[in-house]
Amino acid sequence: MDTFFRAVPKEDRPKFEKLLKVLREQLSGVKVYKLGDEPEKPVYVVGKTADGKLAGVKTTVVET
């Protein structure tokens, strides 16, 4: 997860630091899944909640 968030531009980091903090506090075993081999692809950040359920966020990235 840290590797994934390292690509965030410096000017956007404060917003993403808040998200990263919440993900770390609320989820365990967090994994990042990038789907597809196109430059624009969906990404899922998923982990387990305290009661064992899966939760996370979905976003889209553009890799150049």
Q: Could you report the per-residue pLDDT of 22-47, keeping only the tens digit for each? A: 999 999 999 999 999 999 999 999 99
Local structure of 55: helix, strand or coil: strand
Domain range holding 10? 2-62
Measured CA to CA, the distance from residue 30 to residue 59 in angstroms comes to 15
Domain count, the chain: 1
Q: Identify the CATH number of the domain in which residue 45 sits.
A: 3.40.1460.10
pTM of the model: 0.84
Taking a C-beta distance cutoff of 8 angstroms, is the pair 53, 32 a contact?
Answer: no
Q: Which two tokens stand for residue 43?
A: 């990404």
Under the banding of pLDDT at 50, 70 and 90, the label for residue 64 is confident
Say what the pLDDT of residue 3 is. Answer: 86
